[in-house]
A and B are shown apart, each in its own frame.
Chain A
Amino acid sequence: MSVHPTSPEFKSNAHGALHSPSLQKAMGNVEKGFIEKRRIAAEALPEFEALRDSARDIKNHTLAHLDLYLEAFEKRVLEAGGHVHWAADAAEANAIILDICQKAGARTVTKGKSMISEEIGLNAHLEANGIKPIETDLGEYIIQLRGEAPSHIIAPAIHVNKEEVEADFRRVHTHLDAKRDLTAPTSLLAEARGELRARFLAADVGITGANFLVAETGTSIIVTNEGNGDLTQILPKTHVVVASIEKITPTLNDVAQILRVLGRSATGQEMSVYTTLSTGPKRAGDLDGPENYHVVLLDNGRSAMLGTEFEDMLRCIRCGACMNHCPVYHAIGGHAYGWVYPGPMGAVLTPSLIGVDQGGHLPNASTFCGRCESVCPMRIPLPKMMRHWREREFERHLTARTTRWALRAWAFAATHPKLYGLGTRIATRALSFLGRKKGRFTSLPLAGGWTTWRDMPAPEGSTFRTEWKKRGRK
């Protein structure tokens, strides 16, 4: 069972978000922090733009030979003593992971941050089968306590304010001293650490995602800032990596290049604090590591994107820069998008993965300002792909009937210059006559979407071309 989307209710989700003072306060921090940090990091590295090109080229090459690299990866994992499982969809992936957990006799599993696990709804599936998943990334831990989904792909609890975290901790950690001081952010961190320490040691299975899967070596790589991922994958007897197929990268060298744009684009860090490589289970002579190592490779709609106008989206490395720079995301936060992936990348990916009939609002709710594309380290043409979705909707008559009608009428006029000239002359004259006193309208029939919020300036007088001809010019 994957997460049930509320994307069709995007407009009412957005309405709620716009009227939530706590969310609006939290979103203010996104606008301030991430953008400046990325700018400084990008400007400090002279070859940053060239690295973006090469990161794009590496992934394009990989996608063109995806089958070969996946097979090579599988071979290396098997050689290293691990297991590889292929999951066509969320249900298959959940069943495979549950089976691994049950065979390991697991009662609790620790989890590193994984968007794929969110995509397939893994926690709910494990819980329904009597296994307790424990999120160990601080942000994920917080939203798990709150029973929420992530609202950002790298900062899942970005929508939560510090005061709210404090309240949640007091609500859940009832065994701790009620009078403890939790005002400093570090005290919240310390408390979460303390709570998680015992869980790490007790867990039977550790589940992580992967930022990269290396075909050359059969290695899975996670990039984190808290070190929780390391404890998740090293301490339990069994380590399960769940990752989607486009995470494949040919060589470690390629990964090293992409890592140079990943940290900088995401948080402005040159590198994340931890970049952890794991290849197979513990070998003879290793001091630590899991005894069993599994990789679950998820397709869930991705192979169907290959060879289509949406293939470029598979280059995405989930850095979050597009949403960090998106005015729409800033206005409404991540939950309004109604599924797992928010912001511009979500606006392209969501219709691909759950269908445009479900996610159709998302690619439409963009001004096409292009700021996402201008910062995407993988040079993914996000607005162009959102437009492709609009084209598919238009072809399938999913576009609202009034919009269709208005577009067709406008296009008809625009391709009949005489009619267009007459129509615009009349409309302009009428509007300018009606608005002559104030120079603007506070309400206009058929323009409610505009005049609810802003005045509509009136035309100056007659059209430019009328005036031009009056002056005897051609």
Chain B
Amino acid sequence: MTKKPRVGLFVTCLVDMFRPTVGFSAVKLLEDAGCDVFVPDNQTCCGQPAYNNGDKADARRIAEQVIATFEEFDFVVIPSGSCGGMVKTHYADLFEGDAGWSIRAEKLSAKTFELVSFLVDVLGVKAVIAAFEGAITYHDSCSGLRELGIKSQPRKLLESVDGLTISEMKDSDVCCGFGGTFCVKYDEISNKIVSKKTANIRASGAGTLVAGDMGCLLNMAGKLKREGSDIEVRHVAEILAGLATGPAIGEKR
């Protein structure tokens, strides 16, 4: 038997604070797929807020810490397309002209993956053992879709969930208007964009909205709840792991 891959789980700040269930779901999915999962205690944030707001120096300091924390593992897995995209596609840019750190950054980027694409593309997982009754609709979060090419992988695994059907919404690949600090800096525009998104979500007829990024999920859940909708909102990992049993995002306990 080959040695189990040692996977460092980077839960992300939003999962850590808002949705521990997603972290446990990721652990379960990875362990079921034969990984040894570690959660290094030194982990914090991937540096995206600083990076996207032009604060490159702080982004770099944070990235150095992420690299130092996670470089010992065979793989780094992140249950988020945008944080995954940050580590995988943007870290190199932070260390331009610094050969030593550039190499470390590139090595880390090469072994870093978003959770669902890691399961499907790297581990070759074709199905999960989980059940979920009802129709869901899947929102393709932007960074996952366009930076990491995540589109078919979550659908493939969702289709293997017992009792689950996918009811596609119109424009599932269009931004939900979150955009990190954008949603508060340009809140009125953000609201317009998320309103179009929730209209498409409702029109899909699905009872549950699923996506792979906590930021987008908080945004869409918040809007749906404000609109009085009873559509439930969940992270894709919860459903795939069969842990979608507690209250959905923004629902009372």
Give the interface of A toward B (CB within 8 A): 11, 14-15, 18, 327-328, 330-332, 364-371, 373-374, 387, 389-395, 399, 403-404, 407-408, 410-411, 413-415, 417, 420-421, 424, 427-428, 431, 436-440, 442, 447, 449-450, 452-465, 467-469, 473-474
Residues of chain A within 8 A (CB-CB) of B184 are 447, 449-450
- B191 nearest CB across to chain A (Å): 4
Name A's interface SS: helix
B interface residues, how many (CB within 8 angstroms): 73
The answer on a CB contact under 8 Å between A414 and B17 is no
Residues of chain B within 8 A (CB-CB) of A461 are 20
- B112 nearest CB across to chain A (Å): 17
Partner pick for B142 among A364, A370, A453, CB 8 A cutoff: A370
The answer on a CB contact under 8 Å between A368 and B54 is no
- A18 nearest CB across to chain B (Å): 6
Partner pick for A387 among B54, B175, B190, CB 8 A cutoff: B54
- B217 nearest CB across to chain A (Å): 8
Give the interface of B toward A (CB within 8 A): 11, 13, 15-24, 38-39, 41-45, 47, 49-56, 58-59, 61-62, 65, 142-143, 146-147, 173-175, 177-194, 196, 218-219, 221-223, 225-226, 246-247, 249-253
Partner pick for A331 among B11, B44, B62, B189, CB 8 A cutoff: B189
Residues of chain B within 8 A (CB-CB) of A14 are 186, 188-189
- A433 nearest CB across to chain B (Å): 11
Residues of chain B within 8 A (CB-CB) of A462 are 20
Q: How many Å lie between the Cα of A473 and that of B40 in the bound state?
A: 10
Nearest chain-B residue to A450 (Cβ)?
Answer: B184
Partner pick for B146 among A374, A404, A413, A439, CB 8 A cutoff: A374
The answer on a CB contact under 8 Å between B54 and A414 is no
- A445 nearest CB across to chain B (Å): 13
The answer on a CB contact under 8 Å between B192 and A331 is yes
Nearest chain-B residue to A468 (Cβ)?
Answer: B39
27 A/B residue pairs, CB under 8 Å, sorted by A: A14-B186, A18-B188, A327-B177, A364-B186, A365-B189, A367-B193, A369-B174, A371-B146, A371-B173, A389-B54, A395-B54, A399-B53, A410-B45, A411-B47, A411-B58, A413-B44, A417-B42, A440-B221, A447-B184, A449-B187, A452-B187, A453-B188, A454-B191, A455-B222, A455-B223, A456-B222, A464-B39
The answer on a CB contact under 8 Å between A411 and B55 is yes
Residues of chain B within 8 A (CB-CB) of A403 are 53, 181, 185
10 additional A-B residue pairs with CB within 8 Å, beyond A14-B189, A391-B55, A415-B61 = A327-B196, A328-B186, A364-B182, A367-B178, A399-B54, A415-B58, A453-B190, A454-B194, A461-B20, A465-B39
The answer on a CB contact under 8 Å between A391 and B54 is yes
Partner pick for A465 among B11, B22, B51, B192, CB 8 A cutoff: B11
Q: Beyond A15-B188, A456-B222, is A387–B19 a contact (Cβ under 8 Å)?
A: no
The answer on a CB contact under 8 Å between B23 and A367 is no
The answer on a CB contact under 8 Å between A371 and B142 is yes
